[in-house]
Structure 1
Amino acid sequence: MQDQQPARLLGPAEVRRLAEELGVRPTKKLGQNFVHDPNTVRRIVATSKVTADDVVLEVGPGLGSLTLGLLSTAQAVTAVEVDAALASRLPRTVAEHAPGPADRLRVVEADALSVRRGDFADRAPTALVANLPYNVAVPVVLHLLAELPTLRHGLVMVQAEVADRLAAKPGGRTYGVPSAKVAWFAEVHREGSVSRSVFWPVPNVDSGLVSFTRIEPPSVVAHEQVFAVIDAAFAQRRKMLRSALSGWAGSAARAETVLRAAGISPSARGEQLAVADFVRIAEAARDTLDGSQGTVSP
């Protein structure tokens, strides 16, 4: 393994210069808020626990602030960027600021929600570290965890409310669909907040860091089947599960049959259930299927 040398990180003036050079005007549509504070980059890299053995997947590298920090520590970085101008400029930015590790960067011009396992066959990523666009953060995290089983750990910066939801435990007000679904793939922890002042342009929302560590799937049932139960349970959050799952099961009576077979009270509500409980419901539905997709025996 080559020696890792600290990169020269981007400051506020360099971020604005690069943006002006590229004619980039950050847009809300793409969720573009560029980090311009080197200390925040160092904090993210340190908190991510990325080592020289990791191949890092970075989503939305933008102008390269975090990319430079990751290349100082990781074995390699694959950066997925949907903006063509940013994607084409990133290798040159890295070469200018960190010529040593420049050959360990690969840029993929694509929407993160469209990437597939085969896109990384030559260099499977082991860690996800990213400043995610706020409007697609949850779908991106879930898609990548489902599509890339080699991702063993990671750290994402997201809107503070999203961070709270991802890390929430059953019973709390912020616990919901994102909390339950991400728990299928990983143990998730809140890792603190990030000041608005470290971004350009300054966002009108607070940001938070969330770490994850991959766990083994809690069931042989496909996660899509469990996620269908989760979606149904939270679609009508205030309803008891007997009613909330009636459409999914085919009727309230059939939902009750499945719930009792799973050992879960029909009067419980979705926010009370952990992912293991949703797994039991999906397994009970599988065991009581009468041969029709989505229909359970009464």
Structure 2
Amino acid sequence: MSGDTIFTALTEEHGGDARWAFGTGFTDALAGVDTTLPAGVDGGDLALYCQMLGDDALVQAQRLVEWVTDAPELEEEVALANIALDLLGQARLLLARAGQADGTGRDEDAFAYRRGPTEFRNVHLAEAPRGDFARAVVTLLALSSSRLALFARLTDSKDPVLAAIAAKAVNELAYHREYAVSWTLRLGDGTPYSRERTAEAVAAVWPLTGELFATHSVEARLAGQGVGVDPATVRDEVHAVLARVLVEATLDAPAPFPESATAGRDGRHTELLAPLLDELQKVAREHPEATW
């Protein structure tokens, strides 16, 4: 990554392959960045919002890593690993911003490795079972489509750090969605068996999609201040995208997204998150003072 600081690198015009991860190559993710809070914005609100977005990416990345050595083809293993790296880069920057905004000075490692399940703010879909390849594809389709719509709007955030992260992330998220769309079409409009498996994946994933568009009080406050985005405002856009993809994949048109509470945003998770974090945090827990 070029640029004297992470901020200048993030705000450069993207000239490389959009599939490569960003947020790497820096000891301090926010070194040299003006991290002054926008006027009137509560640092605790901004920190929690960054945790929501960062935890979605971090937990989803950990799920995708489970496909390494287990994907149906080597090419797909590499693709899923690269998507996971993209999400880790986003998580790193967002969690670093959270630690600066809340005044604690915690770095991204402290957020990733030194929190328990009830302190994570990701949606349930990110921690949902890996399942088969069709389920992984449909999960990625739902998560990348909603995240892309959200981050496209965050490029206008009054918080310059969030705006810069979002501006770079949309390139990656567009690729993530493109990858998921291509595989949904191949599986849905493939053999009768692949179509059956994909339909089953949609049926399993759909009940978890409502939380993607449930508005947390912090999201509502920051949206009103021009810093965050109310996820409810992208519901119709994302539904239209998914409906078009599923119909073209010869699958049934989807029902409306279900209504949902903001469970994961409030730290209420399924039993699946704890073992996922055990795996993610294993080395850091065993060697708490280690440096790399």
TM bracket (short chain): under 0.3
Name the one with the larger helix percent. 2
Task: State the structure with more CA Rg.
Answer: 1
Give the structure, 1 or 2, with the largest relative contact order (CA under 8 Å, sep 6 or more). 2
